[in-house]
Amino acid sequence: MAKATRDYHPAKLKRAGKSTKRAQRGHVDIPPGVEQIEVSFGDRQVKLTNLNKLFWPELKITKRDLLQYYADVSTVLLPHLQDRAMVMKRYPNGAAGEFFFMKRAPEPRPPWIEICSISHGSGNIIDFPIIQDLPALLWVINLGCIDLNQWYARCDDVDRPDYLHFDLDPVPGAKFQQVRESALVVREALESLKMSCYAKTTGSKGIHVYVPIVRGPTQKQVWTIAKEIAQVLEAANPKLITAEYRIAKRPRGRVLVDYNQNAWGRTLASVYSLRPTPKAMVSTPVEWKEIERGIDIEDFRIDNVRKRIERVGDLWAPLLSKQKRFKLEPYLK
């Protein structure tokens, strides 16, 4: 593999062996009460362990419930993870316990786990797992992952993302009402540039706004444009928005329009990710009219998101389309 530079990171997608086939989408029921079980998908088997372990003790939500949630939403979730390296955030002792990040796919692992090998500037080549189907999804979640954090660029070119996005995060003193207001300000600015944009709750404290773009600009170029937009928004709305990246210098009671998450190698919790919050909230796509009406961050939880998906479908399906993606090239300097 070629040597990586600051703006060029060779990557290679390692497909599963020829003897195995990706599992077709299907329904999985994990029986309650059992401590472990092996689930079969054709020639693939996934061992699910410690199923009775409480991941949210106060809510009586077990690891089995966590796995069942992801199995139930996999039809809408998996297309958003396709061919993207995954950074694992593992919570071996549940949502309130300590966690650790893990980039390399652990060994031993099933031979059908696909890998994105990415060369870093340090000279290291890191083998990230990719979640391509339901067995791979359950295997990753069984490692104690609660939320999913995939790359913005696909493995065939990890330097050229599919999205430009903003993480709207309340600075101490700000309320979620101000986050909603900021999201509408961001939408107005993006739509004035003819950028289609889509929102989801973070499942934690804020809102993510994504713009599907035509692949071409590098991650650094996307970051630069996002920074310029954020700084313009800050200048136009100084009492509401800050783009200040330095924590100590952020004014209280503002909403951070965080452009820096567009930097290479950064990730955000994916759509439909459960979050390790006290109420087991979910990062959920929302319509702009819902934000206008006044949603709350706690409206979307493990106990109600599945029924919402049945009712409204995947509101982020347009981000998977090759149509209506914005070309950033005219804005590059």
- pLDDT, tens digit, for every residue of 239-254? 999 999 999 999 999 9
CA distance 219 to 223: 6
Q: Phi/psi of residue 278, each to 5°?
A: -55, -30
CA distance 164 to 328: 10
| Segments of the chain with pLDDT less than 70 | 17-26
**Confidence (pLDDT) at 17:** 63
**Confidence (pLDDT) at 8:** 87
Q: Could you tell me the CA-to-CA distances from 40 to 37, 44, 49, 127, 194 in Å, in that order?
A: 10, 6, 14, 25, 47
* 306-324 pLDDT, tens digit each: 999 999 999 999 999 999 9
Q: Note if the pTM is more than 0.85.
A: yes
* 39-50 pLDDT, tens digit each: 999 989 999 999
* 72-112 pLDDT, tens digit each: 999 999 999 999 999 999 999 999 999 999 999 999 999 99
**Confidence (pLDDT) at 19:** 47
Which helix or strand (DSSP H or E) is residue 65 part of?
Answer: helix 63-81
